[in-house]
Structure formats: C-alpha cells, structure tokens
Amino acid sequence: MAQVQLRLSRETLEKIDRWVLKGKFKSRSDAVTTIIGLYEEQERTREFLKMLMKRSEETRRHPKSRSSLEES
C-alpha cells in the first residue's frame, strides 16, 4: 500500500482522533481509508440513481419500449 502525506485542519484531525479514541476506527489511517471508501460508494450510488432516473424518464416517454436493467 502506498503512503501519502495529508494536510488536514486541526479541527478535522481532532475529530478523527476522537473517533479513533471512541473505537470507531483502529487508527487515523483506517479512518481516512474508510471515509474515502464511503465517498466512493456514495459516488457509485449517485451514478446508479442517475441511470435509474434516465431510464425512468425514457420509460415515461416510450412506455412500449421498456427494457430490463440487464440490457443496459
């Protein structure tokens, strides 16, 4: 795994340290890695929602040409 240097506000670092002390994360590194993973998941969910909204609009416009999600 690669190692990087990170600049955070004192407030953010203190918040992460509190989470670690409360046992929510094993370490600062674990907190940052988990938070990035959650952000990536959120972005995938957002893209999926956009696709569903587009398909919903297409279905509304052309109800007889509906296709299954597997065909996308």
Tell me the torsion sign for CA atoms 59, 64, 68, 72. negative
CA–CA distance, 63 with 11 (Å, rounded to integer)? 52
Backbone angles phi, psi at 47, to 5 degrees: -65, -40
Q: What pLDDT shows up at residue 66?
A: 61
Confidence (pLDDT) at 59? 82
Contacts of 24 (CB under 8 A, 6+ apart): 31
Query: How many domains does the structure of the chain reveal?
Result: 1
CA distance 36 to 29: 11
Q: Which structural domain range is residue 40 located in?
A: 27-58
pLDDT tens digit sequence for 44-69: 999 999 999 998 888 888 877 666 65
Q: Considering the domain boundaries, does residue 12 fall inside one? A: no
Does 35 map to a domain? Answer: yes
Residue 8, in any domain of the structure:
no
- Give the whole-number percent of the chain exceeding pLDDT 90: 71
- The pTM of this model reads 0.71
Q: Which residue has the higher pLDDT, 32 or 65?
A: 32
